[in-house]
Structure 1
Amino acid sequence: MSRHEGVSCDACLKANFRGRRYKCLICYDYDLCAACYERGATTTRHTTEHPMQCILTRHDFDVYYGGEALSVDQPQSLTCPFCGKMGYTETTLQDHVSVEHSDTYEVVCPICASVPGGDPNHVTDDFAAHLTLDHRSGAPRDLDEGSSSRHGVRRMPHQTRGRGHRPGRNMTFGIIWNTLFKE
């Protein structure tokens, strides 16, 4: 069974924990283990109303899907960082955000947080534009600094917790890593 390497629960401080990981899409660099998420852990900066993205380890993803051959078109479960609604694919999340959320404020991108090699603390102040420019269907995943700075994205440096993170270890429900990213 694999662990969320390089990640600590911000409530109980357990490091490299197993099971589901919940990433806050409002607070920078805020993660909870499943137990703390389920008991409703909060801090002065994080409340239970903040949208959270559930992230699985690669092993748990494989166990959950049982080796099924999954296609890119099958459902994912991304969370809207504005309203907290869940169950979106990259395409339906983009549609939802462009129709329902004209306001812009800084949020963590749930796609960047959950894809292998993505930046789990990728903060953008124009999420709709970020989705259009960086996550449109079929577009290559451009995670370099130059591209991000052109699109209203602010890269925030990882603290010590981010060091030692091995890309490709964490998965979100429905991300089909074999078809998108070859290790």
Structure 2
Amino acid sequence: PHHLFEQDDWQDTLIQLYSFSKAYRLTGHRVGAVTACQTRLAEIEKFLDTVTICPSQLGQKAALWGLQNLGDWLAQERHEILARRQAIIDHFPTLAAKGWRLLGLGAYFAYLEHPFDVDATDLAQKLVEEAAVLALPGSMFVPAGDHNGRSHMRIAFANISAEMIVVLFDRMAQVSQ
């Protein structure tokens, strides 16, 4: 999916993690993979020996079954995730016109800065009451005393369709201070 391992000095900085648990919906089973240079892997192994020997057999068997049988399903899930993410990009101008800023965008969450002179915790409550939108205030994701959380919101979009993102932004745009 990327060309980072083709860089000459990747061993100095790159550690790639993959979660079979997330990819195959193995809730509660911590099964994953790590790719790094041999030296770094040796250090990771030392740490893992102090916390766990290995994931449960059930999780390992489920991940193996997923690897062997769910390639097409996983590709479709990836396509859907990327479509939702693109919908955020395509339709964010609805909120940008109201003064919102898109600060970060991943596969499941978007971090936004709201334009209001109100704490994000209060705005989260208002979004629920006035727009039927559940969003988390930025204060839940920053250290105590960090005032950036006051103006930031996190919205999750993993459980709605790309089409519903339009509705989400329309609802959010209707809320005023």
Query: What TM-score comes out, normalization by structure 2 length?
Result: 0.22
Greater C-alpha radius of gyration: 2
Higher helix share: 2
> With CA pairs under 8 Å and 6+ residues apart, which has the higher RCO, 1 or 2?
1
Please, what TM-score do these two structures have when normalized by structure 1?
Answer: 0.21
